[in-house]
């Protein structure tokens, strides 16, 4: 089994290399138009800083630029693959206490105003909610990312310094996320809910609500010769069957990130063998949230029993038809940088022989006073969306095998996050997307004491220390080891048992060139390098 997996991985690596060399051999052509799939209307317009949904970030990417970004032509999101966008160069100074960006000088906003360091300071002062910030976001989901930023100084119009409270090497990677574009200082942040003034390769032409977003090429884009395409249209199609049919019929040229399951990809390939399907990771995990502040899940033994009871491999096979991979709280290798190795993963709850795992779960439950005569009855909450319900139904069946009787409670989207943040639930089946493959973004957001997105309300002094320690570790190898220890610790505490990491089968028509999906759905789609060979 393991050998075949290695062979498969080697073959896919070869295929990627072959595709990459083939792509590099082709000369990009300018002109043309692409239709891209959009699963739902933009929830907050182009106000990327006020949302955490791919439905906003993906169709907004062509409008904006970051200081730095993950190379859009490379799949892996590593520090080595960071490239400058609005920043030409950058430099860590004072032992990783200061991060200095040297900005491009020939950049204009879509309304003709020049881009300067004032815009960078404006954006990040607003994000970190600095006392003297000139603007405030209506909602600010990633404020926690910037808690270590002490000040942002615009030394001159083309130099910006991020002064940090302590060293934080991971900050640079967080600035490369699709969720970290630079806003214009002269535009009210609220205006991004209805329109988009960016510096990106495409200018927003029209957003017809519930129908489409049209972009046209930005002729003043700072990268000469880019973008290649003349125009883009993101077509909103709510019905999944219609979306797939539109892609198959050629009315759409590019699928939506995270949209295509393994089964759908197989059907598409069968119907249109020429379609180019690339399996990539989504950076979206299935996980179990348990309210650690209320019985019975304030008891570690009960939480661990739940974690032991769920057969991850069976879940991947039954619910995802193989379109997911097991992993702990960081995306597993080779899709992520920080994931645990398979040998380490095997030691965690839920990864051994299922009979042994279930026996262990029953033993833990018995120690907690839960027996077949005195079974545990709980309510399993989940969002009333098929993606969630399928997973929850599977988990309920797994829990039944060890004597936990769970009933499914479907919660409407309007209620889900407020319910989870309030801790108004017992146990829940949840999905978590990581905006960037960086432990700081993950652990401060999902595991830190008091974080509103720490739905389990898990709080451990020891874990907080481990989070802080890894965050400021400058030696990459040492930091990797610290993050591995952290992953093991939160799984051992069943803080938020991870079940799997979802894969996407990103699909494009063969004439779409230069569109390289990443192992994270949130960080690609700038579209500057994409061209049409037709």
Sites of contact with other proteins (CB under 8 A) = 41, 43-45, 50-53, 56, 138-141, 190, 193-194, 208-212, 233, 235, 237-239, 241-242, 245-246, 248-252, 271-272, 412-418, 421-422, 452-453
Nearer to other proteins, 161 or 498 (CB): 498
Task: Give me the least distance between CB of 86 and other proteins, in Å please.
Answer: 25
- As separate numbers, helices (DSSP H) first and strands (DSSP E) second, the chain gives 15, 19
Structure token digits, residue 312: 């991850």
430 CB-side CA count, 13 A:
24
Question: Any idea what the Cα angle at residue 61 is, between residues 519 and 434, rounded to 5°?
Answer: 40
Nearer to other proteins, 236 or 309 (CB): 236
Nearer to other proteins, 262 or 417 (CB): 417
Q: Which residue from 136, 183, 145, 180 is spatially nearest to 164, judged by alpha carbons? A: 145
Nearer to other proteins, 405 or 412 (CB): 412
Task: Give me the least distance between CB of 123 and other proteins, in Å please.
Answer: 17
Task: Give me the least distance between CB of 282 and other proteins, in Å please.
Answer: 16
Residues pairing with 376 in the sheet: 404
DSSP 295-320: TTTTSHHHHHHHHHH--HHHHHHHTT
Question: 289 φ, ψ to 5°?
Answer: -105, 135
Nearer to other proteins, 6 or 271 (CB): 271
Nearer to other proteins, 238 or 293 (CB): 238
Task: Give me the least distance between CB of 367 and other proteins, in Å please.
Answer: 35
The count of residues in the chain is: 534
Task: Give me the least distance between CB of 357 and other proteins, in Å please.
Answer: 30
Residues whose CB falls within 8 Å of the CB of residue 168, separated by 6 or more in sequence, listed in order: 96, 148, 440, 471, 472
Task: Give me the least distance between CB of 235 and other proteins, in Å please.
Answer: 6
Task: Give me the least distance between CB of 51 and other proteins, in Å please.
Answer: 4
State the CB neighbour count (10 A cutoff) for residue 138: 11
Report d(CA 368, CA 315) in Å as an integer.
Answer: 26
At 404 the three-state DSSP class reads strand
Nearer to other proteins, 352 or 423 (CB): 423
């Amino acid at each position: 089994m393991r050998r075949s997996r290695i062979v498969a991985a080697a073959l896919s690596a070869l295929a990627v290399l072959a595709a990459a060399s083939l792509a590099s051999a082709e000369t990009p052509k300018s002109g043309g138009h692409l239709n891209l799939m959009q699963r739902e209307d933009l929830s907050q317009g182009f106000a990327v800083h006020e949302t955490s949904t791919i439905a906003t970030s993906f169709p907004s990417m062509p409008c904006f630029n970051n200081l730095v970004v993950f190379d859009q032509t490379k799949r892996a999101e590593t520090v080595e693959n960071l490239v400058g966008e609005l920043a030409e160069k950058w430099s860590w100074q004072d032992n990783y206490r200061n991060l200095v960006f040297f900005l491009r000088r020939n950049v204009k906003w879509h309304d003709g105003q020049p881009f300067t360091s004032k815009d960078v300071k404006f954006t990040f002062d607003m994000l970190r909610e600095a006392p003297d910030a000139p603007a405030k976001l209506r909602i600010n989901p990633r404020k926690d990312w910037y808690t270590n930023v002490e000040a942002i100084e615009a030394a001159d119009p083309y130099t910006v310094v991020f002064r940090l409270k302590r060293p934080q090497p991971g900050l640079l990677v967080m600035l490369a996320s699709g969720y970290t574009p630079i806003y214009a200082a002269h535009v009210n942040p609220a205006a991004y809910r209805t329109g988009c003034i960016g510096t990106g390769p495409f200018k927003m032409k029209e957003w017809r609500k519930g129908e489409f977003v049209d972009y046209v090429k930005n002729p003043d884009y700072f990268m000469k010769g880019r973008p290649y395409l003349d125009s883009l249209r993101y077509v909103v199609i709510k019905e999944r069957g219609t979306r797939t049919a539109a892609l198959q019929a050629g009315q759409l040229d590019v699928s939506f990130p995270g949209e295509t399951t393994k089964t759908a990809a197989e059907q598409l390939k069968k119907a249109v063998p020429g379609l180019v399907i690339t399996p990539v990771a989504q950076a979206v995990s299935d996980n179990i949230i348990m309210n650690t502040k209320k019985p019975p899940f304030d008891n570690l033994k009960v939480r661990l029993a739940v974690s032991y009871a769920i057969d991850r491999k069976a879940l991947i096979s039954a619910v995802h038809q193989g379109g997911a991979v097991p992993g702990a709280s960081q995306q597993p290798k080779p899709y992520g940088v920080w994931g645990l190795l398979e040998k380490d993963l095997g030691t965690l709850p839920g990864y051994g022989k299922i009979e042994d795992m279930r026996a262990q779960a029953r033993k833990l439950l018995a120690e907690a006073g839960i027996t077949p005569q005195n079974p545990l009855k709980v309510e399993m909450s989940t969002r009333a969306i098929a993606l969630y319900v399928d997973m929850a139904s599977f988990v309920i069946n797994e829990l039944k095998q060890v004597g936990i009787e769970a009933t499914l409670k479907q919660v409407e989207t309007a209620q889900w996050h407020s319910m989870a943040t309030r801790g108004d639930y017992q146990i829940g089946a949840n999905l978590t997307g990581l905006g960037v493959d960086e432990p700081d973004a993950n652990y401060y957001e999902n595991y830190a004491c008091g974080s509103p997105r720490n739905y389990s309300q898990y709080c451990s002094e020891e874990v907080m220390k481990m989070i802080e320690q890894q965050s400021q570790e400058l030696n990459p190898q040492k930091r990797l080891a610290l993050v591995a220890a952290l992953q093991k610790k939160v799984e051992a505490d069943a803080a938020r048992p991870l079940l799997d990491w979802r894969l996407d089968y990103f699909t494009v028509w063969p004439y779409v060139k230069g569109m390289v999906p990443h192992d994270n759905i949130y960080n690609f789609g700038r579209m500057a390098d994409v061209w049409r060979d037709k």
